[in-house]
């Protein structure tokens, strides 16, 4: 959690007096608050930075996402939300220095330094806007499905999105001059979009119709953001195993938000810890996490686990993803010079066989397996994730799974432009990889699993 930061003028709100003033302040300092972590108030967006957390970094992140408050805790953690924590405490209790800013305060353990950031000058920050999700048929019981509403003449998308964002709803729904706020639910799951022309009528006609326009607001669906370590050590030691580049980090994001429990890792990756994977710092054998990420293969490493989710991805995609990661980190792209150098063919010759042996070893030595194909998880997220969660022996509500689906991307899409040829594989590389695909496909069938998805097979 965070410590405390550079503050500016208290302004009219002045909710907790006596706060110091700093030159680099942006938002209005509100005060120091208690936060026990069990039921957070500021839980709309969360991130950590063990080395570089600053007050302005946290304020920027929350303001960009249209939140009212930014809270810093334990020197390295940032939380965003639209409601203040209930319990304020003395300023002296927020005493940890920000990891990236000497002399600034970022809360303390279970203490939040809170700033109001909604008054930041509009020109100084790029605020995220609402994203159009589609035209949908209204649910039967609007009052039950849409908990909050705003009725006013000439209501706009921006007005409706702002209203719903303030109330921390991820969906803003327009029907004529009626604005509703909601979460995805089994009754309104956004799976069956209608033709957009059905929502393109004038406001009066649209109000009388049974269709509505749905927009994603900038705020996060918070019904599935709470996570913690297991209250008791797990009796079953579960691996989340994959070849590098197969989407393991994304699968961990889905599992954590679906189950409410942190995942662990055989490795330590500070970048992932900073993105909210608190299990990264936990020892991988602590048994305090719901499952443990591993890329390891070989009998000894596999037999340490009681069971495993084996995540498999198209090797062509995995190889490109892992090469990008090795050259440019989790969210970057390898440069043209990397693809054109000897580095790329050497990488393919070395890693393609590992893609195959990784699956073969887990099929051979794994005690209890659930095979999950990355492509199927992408294509059919809720049913596949439901199967994964059941394998982990956790009961999850349908609403929580829909929340995960609504937050499915997390922070794991690569940014920027791909700089390489979209087809970097030579005929020789394809021959090599296709041979491994056939081998793995046969092995899966021999172990009574469905073979590889058809899109893997030789192209």
pLDDT for residue 99 is more than 80: yes
Q: Nearest-5° angle of CA 352, CA 241, CA 267?
A: 95
DSSP state of 71: E
How many CB atoms lie under 10 A from the CB of residue 304? 15
Range of lowest pLDDT (43-47, 65-69, 70-74, 325-329): 43-47
Per-residue pLDDT, 16 = 34
- pLDDT of residue 10 exceeding 50, the answer is no
Q: List, for residues 218-245, the tens digit of each pLDDT value.
A: 888 888 988 899 999 999 999 999 999 8
Bridge-based pairing state of the strands 292-294 and 264-265: parallel
> What pLDDT, on a 0 to 100 scale, did the predictor assign at position 42?
87
pLDDT in tens, 420-447: 556 789 999 999 999 999 999 999 999 9
**C-alpha dihedral sign at 227, 231, 232, 233:** positive
Dist. CA 73–CA 54, nearest whole Å: 11
pLDDT over 70 (residue 326): yes
SS (H, E, C) 120-144: CCHHHCCCCCCEEEEEEECCCCHHH
Residue 384 confidence (pLDDT): 97
pLDDT of residue 287: 95
Check residue 413 and give its pLDDT. Answer: 55
Distance CA 137, CA 211 (A): 4
Work out whether the CA dihedral 139, 142, 147, 151 comes out positive or negative: positive
Considering the entire predicted model, what is its pTM?
0.81
DSSP string, 347-364: HHHHHHHHHHHHHHHHHH
CA angle 247, 250, 254 (to 5 degrees): 135
* E-state strands within 355-399: 369-373
Distance from C-alpha of 256 to C-alpha of 271, rounded to nearest angstrom: 17
Indicate the pLDDT class of residue 18, thresholds 50, 70 and 90: very low
User: Does the pLDDT at position 126 exceed 60?
Assistant: no
Measured between alpha carbons, how far is 343 from 3 in angstroms, rounded to an integer? 44
pLDDT value at 142 more than 80: yes
Round the average pLDDT of the chain to a whole number and report it.
86
Give the pLDDT of residue 177: 87
The pLDDT, as a whole number, for residue 3 is 35
- Could you read off the pLDDT of 164-173 as tens digits, one per residue? 988 889 999 9
Q: Let me know: does 50 contact 32? Beta carbons within 8 Å.
A: no
Alpha-carbon distances, residue 15 vs 12, 30, 43, 114, 297 (angstroms): 9, 5, 21, 10, 56
Task: Give 146-211 as a DSSP string.
Answer: --EEEE-TT--HHHHHHHHHHTT-SEEEEETTEEEEE--BTTB-S-S-B-GGGG-S-HHHHHHSSE
* In the predicted structure, residue 301 carries a pLDDT above the cut 70: yes
Residue 86 has pLDDT above 90, yes or no: no
The proportion of the chain whose per-residue pLDDT surpasses 70, expressed as a percent, equals 87
- Residue 417 scores a pLDDT above 80: no
- Cα–Cα–Cα angle for 450, 451, 452, rounded to 5 degrees: 125
Q: What is the Cα–Cα distance from 149 to 452, expressed in whole angstroms?
A: 47
What pLDDT score does 431 carry? 94
Cα 115 from Cα 55, distance rounded (Å): 9
* 303 pLDDT higher than 50: yes
pLDDT average, residue stretch 440-457: 92
> 449: which residues sit within 8 A by CB, 6+ positions away?
363, 371
pLDDT digits (tens, 9 = 90+) for 331-386: 678 888 889 889 999 999 999 999 999 999 999 999 999 999 999 999 999 999 99
- Residue count (the chain): 459
Residue 371 and residue 310 in contact, taking contact as beta carbons nearer than 8 Å: yes
Neighbours of 20 (CB within 10 A): 13
Tally of CA atoms within 13 A in the half-sphere of 11 that contains its CB: 15
On the 0-12 / 13-18 / 19+ scale of CB atoms within 10 A, 429 is middle
CA dihedral 330, 132, 79, 274 (to 10 degrees): 0
At 215 the three-state DSSP class reads strand
Per-residue pLDDT band at 419 (split at 50, 70, 90)? low
Question: What is the rounded average pLDDT of the residues 178-195?
Answer: 93
Average pLDDT for 133-149: 92
Q: Identify the pLDDT of residue 121.
A: 41
What lies within 8 Å, CB to CB, of 233 at 6+ separation is 286, 287, 288
Reported confidence tier of residue 15, pLDDT bands at 50, 70, 90:
very low
User: How many Å is the Cα radius of gyration of the chain?
Assistant: 24
Per-residue model confidence (pLDDT) at position 407: 87
pLDDT given for residue 27 in this prediction: 80
pLDDT higher than 70, residue 292:
yes
């Amino acid at each position: 959690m965070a410590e405390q930061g550079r503050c500016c003028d208290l302004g009219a709100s002045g909710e907790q007096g006596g706060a110091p003033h700093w030159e680099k302040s942006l938002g209005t300092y509100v005060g120091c608050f208690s936060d026990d972590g069990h039921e957070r108030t500021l839980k709309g967006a969360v991130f950590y930075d063990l080395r570089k957390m600053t007050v302005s970094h946290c304020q920027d992140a929350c303001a960009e996402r249209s939140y009212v408050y930014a809270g810093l805790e334990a020197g390295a953690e940032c939380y965003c939300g639209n409601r203040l924590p209930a319990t304020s405490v003395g300023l002296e209790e927020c005493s940890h220095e920000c990891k990236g800013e000497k002399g600034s305060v970022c809360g303390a353990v279970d203490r939040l330094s809170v700033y109001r950031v909604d008054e930041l000058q509009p020109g100084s920050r790029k605020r995220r806007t609402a994203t159009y999700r589609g035209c949908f048929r209204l649910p039967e019981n609007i009052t039950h499905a849409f908990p909050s509403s705003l009725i006013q003449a000439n209501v706009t998308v921006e007005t409706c999105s702002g209203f719903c964002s303030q109330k921390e709803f991820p969906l803003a729904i327009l029907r004529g001059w009626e604005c509703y706020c909601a979460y995805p639910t089994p009754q309104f799951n956004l799976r069956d979009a209608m033709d957009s022309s059905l929502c393109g009528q004038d406001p009066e006609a649209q109000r009388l119709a049974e269709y509505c326009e749905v927009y994603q607001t900038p705020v996060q669906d918070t019904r599935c953001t709470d996570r913690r370590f297991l209250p008791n050590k797990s009796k079953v030691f579960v691996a989340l195993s994959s070849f590098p580049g197969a989407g393991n980090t994304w699968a961990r994001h889905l599992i954590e938000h679906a189950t409410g429990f942190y995942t662990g890792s055989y490795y330590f990756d500070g970048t992932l810890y900073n993105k909210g994977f608190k299990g990264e710092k936990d020892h991988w054998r602590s048994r305090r996490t719901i499952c443990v990420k591993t890329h390891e293969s070989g009998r000894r490493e596999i037999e340490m686990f009681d069971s495993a989710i084996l995540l498999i991805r198209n090797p062509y995609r995995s190889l490109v993803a892992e090469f990008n990661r090795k050259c440019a980190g989790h969210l970057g792209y390898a440069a043209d010079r990397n693809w054109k150098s000897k580095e790329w063919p050497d990488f393919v010759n070395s890693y393609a066989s590992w893609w195959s042996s990784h699956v073969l070893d887990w099929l051979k030595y794994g005690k209890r397996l659930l095979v999950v194909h990355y492509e199927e998880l992408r294509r059919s997220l809720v049913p596949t994730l439901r199967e994964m969660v059941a394998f982990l022996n956790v009961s999850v509500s349908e609403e929580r799974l829909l929340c995960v689906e609504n937050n499915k991307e997390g922070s794991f899409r690569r940014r920027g432009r791909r700089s390489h040829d979209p087809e970097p594989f030579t005929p020789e590389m394809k021959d090599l990889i296709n041979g491994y695909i056939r081998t793995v496909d046969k092995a899966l069938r021999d172990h009574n699993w469905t073979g590889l998805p058809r899109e893997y097979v030789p192209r």
